[in-house]
């Protein structure tokens, strides 16, 4: 059965009604999860990324209240958390941290909102590396911006959502996820320069090939601590390279040759991190040129290069991800495959010939079941528009 966007929005509206007893003054907003074709761990190094927003999204059905209470109803979990606008202390329910983080950012900016009540939910798989958290943040802030006329533009929404994640949730993420959720465009990937914030849409042809995500269904506990460690290693590399070239303010400003020249001083681990990042930043540029030429086979090879770099040099992969990528290596129906997102679990992203997609999924599911006794979820994703209001 096909579940459309309108079906999901309607089901959350129904849940809102059962929770709050009326639908007075409601509006519905949608914010998608994201994929990233290439350019991993480059965002916080001021490099390039190539994400897109997909047809898995979160939805907020929301209305203002007369008082200063906020009532959050997590429709998929059937759980409620309420708080007053003057008490943003951290509750045990971690799902509420994103919304509290947004309210905190609004207050830090000196902007005013009243109370509100909302039912939210959707179909972004949680913990799969599709950034359900960024979708939650962008969706709520976009909604409050519309309801209370906060005058924020899309970049304002992206930056405040990222800060909510950095400051309230405590994850030192870069800007890619929130940007992709807010700026996505149907059938296009977006190259974002994370230093200047200039961006460009590239059409992504899905006539002959589809994007299939294979979800390891694991999230190793290392994920957020190692993420923060990688950031520190990149900063260490930057400060060493800066001694030789004062223009190096981040790894974006360094070349693979500069990294190579200072290999010994960088030390093994930092050297390999810097090598990967400087090469990956260049790889996004090369991959975009290939897209423009319509050369998807070579684009796919770059995806494999990214995976091997993340596996051996940046060391953020895990056995389950490597296993899934290995299964595709001699498969002529797969142009490219790699781990996607922060790493240590989540999904691989695969570029697969359209007519071979069913056989591909079947093969991957069988292999994963045999190896890990896990039924592998596979998602065919379509690239859709970013955050917006759904007008019923």
Q: Which of the residues are catalytic?
A: 177
> In angstroms, rounded to a whole number, what is the distance separating the alpha carbons of residues 372 and 386?
35
- For position 137 contacting ligand GLA by CB under 6 A, the verdict is no
> In angstroms, rounded to a whole number, what is the distance separating the alpha carbons of residues 178 and 202?
19
Instruction: Please identify, using beta-carbon distances, which residue of 13 and 307 lies nearer to ligand GLA.
Output: 307
> In angstroms, rounded to a whole number, what is the distance separating the alpha carbons of residues 215 and 331?
19
Count of residues that bind ligand GLA according to CB under 6 A:
11
Encoded one letter per residue, x for contact with ligand GLA by CB under 6 A and - for no contact, window 256-275 reads --------------------
Nearest alpha carbon to residue 70 among 22, 23, 40, 103: 103
Compute the CA torsion angle 61, 21, 126, 359 (nearest 10 deg).
-90
Shortest distance, position 224 Cβ to ligand GLA, whole Å? 10
Whole-Å CA distances, 374 to 125, 139, 320, 327: 16, 32, 11, 16
- For position 176 contacting ligand GLA by CB under 6 A, the verdict is yes
Shortest distance, position 369 Cβ to ligand GLA, whole Å? 27
Beta bridge partners of 334: 352
Task: Kindly report the number of other CB atoms within 10 A of residue 232's CB atom.
Answer: 12
Shortest distance, position 127 Cβ to ligand GLA, whole Å? 12
> In angstroms, rounded to a whole number, what is the distance separating the alpha carbons of residues 375 and 217?
9
- For position 313 contacting ligand GLA by CB under 6 A, the verdict is no
Shortest distance, position 40 Cβ to ligand GLA, whole Å? 4
> In angstroms, rounded to a whole number, what is the distance separating the alpha carbons of residues 155 and 162?
11
> In angstroms, rounded to a whole number, what is the distance separating the alpha carbons of residues 232 and 227?
9
Query: Which one of 119, 136, 177, 337 is in contact with ligand GLA (CB under 6 A)?
Result: 177
In the numeric block, which tokens belong to residue 72?
């959050």
Encoded one letter per residue, x for contact with ligand GLA by CB under 6 A and - for no contact, window 96-135 reads -----------------------------------x----
Name the segment binding ligand GLA (CB under 6 A); options: 54-62, 78-86, 168-176, 253-261: 168-176
> In angstroms, rounded to a whole number, what is the distance separating the alpha carbons of residues 5 and 113?
28
Instruction: Please identify, using beta-carbon distances, which residue of 102 and 119 lies nearer to ligand GLA.
Output: 102
Encoded one letter per residue, x for contact with ligand GLA by CB under 6 A and - for no contact, window 53-72 reads --------------------
- For position 342 contacting ligand GLA by CB under 6 A, the verdict is yes
Which SS3 state, helix, strand or coil, does residue 377 take? coil
Shortest distance, position 155 Cβ to ligand GLA, whole Å? 16
Encoded one letter per residue, x for contact with ligand GLA by CB under 6 A and - for no contact, window 29-48 reads -----------xx-xx----
At 287, phi and psi to the nearest 5?
Answer: -65, -35
Query: Which one of 103, 141, 160, 173 is in contact with ligand GLA (CB under 6 A)?
Result: 173
Instruction: Please identify, using beta-carbon distances, which residue of 237 and 390 lies nearer to ligand GLA.
Output: 237
> In angstroms, rounded to a whole number, what is the distance separating the alpha carbons of residues 48 and 231?
16
- For position 341 contacting ligand GLA by CB under 6 A, the verdict is yes
To 5 degrees, how large is the angle CA 201–CA 196–CA 250? 120
The footprint of ligand GLA (CB under 6 A) covers: 40-41, 43-44, 131, 173-174, 176-177, 341-342
């Amino acid at each position: 059965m096909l579940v459309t966007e309108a079906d999901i929005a309607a089901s959350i509206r129904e849940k809102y009604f059962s929770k709050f007893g009326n639908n007075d003054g409601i509006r519905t907003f949608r914010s998608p999860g994201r994929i990233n074709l290439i350019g991993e761990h480059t965002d916080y190094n001021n490099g390039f990324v190539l994400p897109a927003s997909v047809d898995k999204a979160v939805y907020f059905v929301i209305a203002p209240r007369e008082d200063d209470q906020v009532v959050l109803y997590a429709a998929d979990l059937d759980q409620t958390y309420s708080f007053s606008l003057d008490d943003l202390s951290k509750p045990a329910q971690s799902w509420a941290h994103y919304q509290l983080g947004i309210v905190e950012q609004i207050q830090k900016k000196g902007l005013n909102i009243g109370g509100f009540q909302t039912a939210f939910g959707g179909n972004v798989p949680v913990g799969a590396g599709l950034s359900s958290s960024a979708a939650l943040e962008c969706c709520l802030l976009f909604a409050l911006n519309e309801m209370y006329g906060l005058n924020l533009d899309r970049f304002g929404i992206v930056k405040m959502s990222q800060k909510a994640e950095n400051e309230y949730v405590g994850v030192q993420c870069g800007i890619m996820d929130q940007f992709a959720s807010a700026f996505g465009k149907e059938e296009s990937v977006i190259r974002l320069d994370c230093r200047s914030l200039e961006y460009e849409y590239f059409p992504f042809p899905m006539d002959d090939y589809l994007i299939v995500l294979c979800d390891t269904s694991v999230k190793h506990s290392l994920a957020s601590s190692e993420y923060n460690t990688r950031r520190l290693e990149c900063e260490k590399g930057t400060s060493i390279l800066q001694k030789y070239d004062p223009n190096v303010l981040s790894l974006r400003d360094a070349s693979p040759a500069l990294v190579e020249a200072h290999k010994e001083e960088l030390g093994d681990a930092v050297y390999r991190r810097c090598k990967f990042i400087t090469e990956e930043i260049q790889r996004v540029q090369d991959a975009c040129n290939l897209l423009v030429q319509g050369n998807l086979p070579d684009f796919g090879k770059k995806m494999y290069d990214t995976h091997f770099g993340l596996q051996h040099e940046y060391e953020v992969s895990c056995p389950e991800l490597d296993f899934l990528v290995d299964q595709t290596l001699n498969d002529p129906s797969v142009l490219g495959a790699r781990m996607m997102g922060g790493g240590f679990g989540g999904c691989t992203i695969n570029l697969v010939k359209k007519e071979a997609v069913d056989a591909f999924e079947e093969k991957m599911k069988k292999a994963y079941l045999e190896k890990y006794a896990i039924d592998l979820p596979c998602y065919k994703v379509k690239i859709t528009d970013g955050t917006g209001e759904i007008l019923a």
